[in-house]
Amino acid sequence: MKMPLLSAFVLEGIVRRRSGLLCFAAVLLFATICLLAQWMRPDLDWRNDPLSNYLKGHYGGWVRGAYYVLSMALILLGAGLYGALRPQARSAAPVLLLVVAGVGLWATAITENDLPYFTHDQENLLHRIAALTTFLSVTSAMMLQSWRFHYDDRWRRHFGLAFPLAVAAFIALWIYAYWHGAPEGLRQKTVITLILMWLGSAAWWLRSQQLQAAQAVPVRLPPD
């Protein structure tokens, strides 16, 4: 088997048959590491400190690693959902937004890594822009992708949970940005929790669809 064909076959296998499982594992890993960090960093107050404060200091490398894993999972989830939906339900918009969100999440983490040639103020500015881009892109992608579920009879049953959850996350994001009646950490982590709930649900649904597809259609190797 030639290398280009082998690479294409492996990539197709990951996106079409394993992306749901991989994305669900990434969401679970991210949630677990970030949750543990709340208890393992007594120097930070989980109610007042946003999650980005955990990217530096003790166990900061673990949290940054969780960010990097989730950033790749966002891109993989977009590709996996696009491939799993029927043609009439597909849209490039949520896929592109999830790619932007993945890149933004990666940039959010890397800006807490003492970048060369950047001043502290420049790092903070880049971090804020990357975080805002991530939040806006992922919540918009969630709403658009949830709406597309309505056009696929296999996914329509998930619309009733996916779309309200996506809208709730989008509204919570704007409450976090403009309402300061609650501690910042609590407001931000509420948004993140809603996003993770949607991502985890979508990844699990995708895994179920991929398992059903694998049982229905035998795997065929490309020709040598």
Query: For the segment 3-58, what is each residue's pLDDT rounded down to a tens digit?
Result: 444 344 445 566 667 889 999 999 999 999 999 999 999 999 999 999 999 999 88
CA dist 199 → 55, 77, 169 (Å): 21, 8, 11
**Vertex 202, ends 205 and 194: CA angle to 5°?**
140
- pLDDT given for residue 168 in this prediction: 98
Residue labelled with tokens 């990539």 = 11
Nearest to 135 by CA among 187, 83, 201, 66: 187
Assess contact for 185 and 52: CB atoms under 8 A.
no
- Kindly state the tokens that stand for 177: 């940005």
- Kindly state the tokens that stand for 217: 């259609």
- pLDDT given for residue 112 in this prediction: 76
Other C-beta atoms within 10 Å of 152: how many?
18
* Count of all residues that appear for the chain in the document: 224
60-84 and 184-216 helices, crossing angle to 10°:
40
- pLDDT given for residue 215 in this prediction: 78
Residue labelled with tokens 């229905």 = 216
CA dist 118 → 103, 112, 126, 132, 166 (Å): 19, 11, 10, 20, 35
- pLDDT given for residue 6 in this prediction: 39
Other C-beta atoms within 10 Å of 84: how many?
24
Q: Which helix (H) or strand (E) holds 140?
A: helix 120-149
Assess contact for 64 and 109: CB atoms under 8 A.
yes
Distance CA 84, CA 90 (A): 9
On the CB side of 159, how many CA atoms lie within 13 Å of its CA?
13
**Vertex 73, ends 158 and 1: CA angle to 5°?**
105
- pLDDT given for residue 97 in this prediction: 98
Low-confidence ranges of the chain (pLDDT < 50): 1-10
> Residue 73 — φ and ψ, nearest 5°?
-65, -35
- pLDDT given for residue 158 in this prediction: 97
Q: Which helix (H) or strand (E) holds 213?
A: helix 184-216
Q: What is the pTM of this model?
A: 0.89
